[in-house]
Structure formats: C-alpha cells, structure tokens
Amino acid sequence: MKFFLLITLLSLCPLSVKASIDDAKAAALAKQNACLGCHAIDKKIVGPSLQAIAKKYASDPNASAFLKNKILKGGSGSWGVVPMPANAKLSDAELSLLVGWILRGAPSTN
C-alpha cells in the first residue's frame, strides 16, 4: 500500500514542477507586458486583482476564450468603465499561458 502511494506521489511531481515553471513564465510575461501596472495578484489597483478575476470566472466554461480575447483586444465594461488596453503583440501560446495562470488565481512563484 505504501509503495503505491509513493508511486502515485512521485508521478504527480512532474506536473507540479511544470505548473511551477509555467507560473514563473506567466508571471514574467505579465510583468513584461505591464499587466501588473493595473492588476495586482490580490488587490484592486486600476483593474481588478488577478485572484478576483479567477473567482469571477471560476465556473464559466468559456472563461479561457473570453479572457484571451479580452487581453488581446482590450476593452471595458466587465469591471467598470476604465478601458483595458489591447495586448495584440502576444502570441496565442502566451495568451494561453497567461490566462491559465490567471484562472488558477495567479499563484506565487516564490
């Protein structure tokens, strides 16, 4: 029984390592693209916190596509009247990485 538990735990390690690497990449991407100038992890600045975004869209099956589009094209109305600028230079892979991180609550990479 202990052997199977150990094997199960070891098999999960690569997933947690990959998630940690992806979180670090996403956090760096957010910083490089000035996302963190308006959005903090856990508090409202100009825009909502990344954790508030994750909470709002937690049960929305279309959240990933919606947020990728919102980041890509910008806009206003989801959280108030202050517009979010477009980030059209991000690739689809970068958008996916960033949105996945946001929807997980922007976990810390420390």
Residue 78 resides in a domain: yes
Tokens of residue 8, six digits: 């199960």
Residue 9 resides in a domain: no
Cβ–Cβ contacts within 10 Å for residue 105, how many?
17
Residue 38 resides in a domain: yes
Beta-bridge partner residues of 44: 39
Residue 11 resides in a domain: no
Categorise residue 105: left if φ over 0, alpha if ψ from -120 to 50, beta otherwise.
left
> Which pTM does this prediction carry?
0.81
> How many domains would you assign to the chain?
1
Residue 14 resides in a domain: no
Which CATH number belongs to the domain containing residue 91 in this structure?
1.10.760.10
Its domain, for residue 54, covers 20-103
Q: What is the pLDDT tens value at each position of the chain, 110 positions in all?
A: 555 554 554 455 555 655 678 899 999 999 999 999 999 999 999 999 999 999 999 999 999 999 999 999 998 888 988 899 999 999 999 999 999 999 999 997 65
Alpha-carbon distance of 27 to 29, in angstroms, equals 5
Tokens of residue 105, six digits: 């609550």
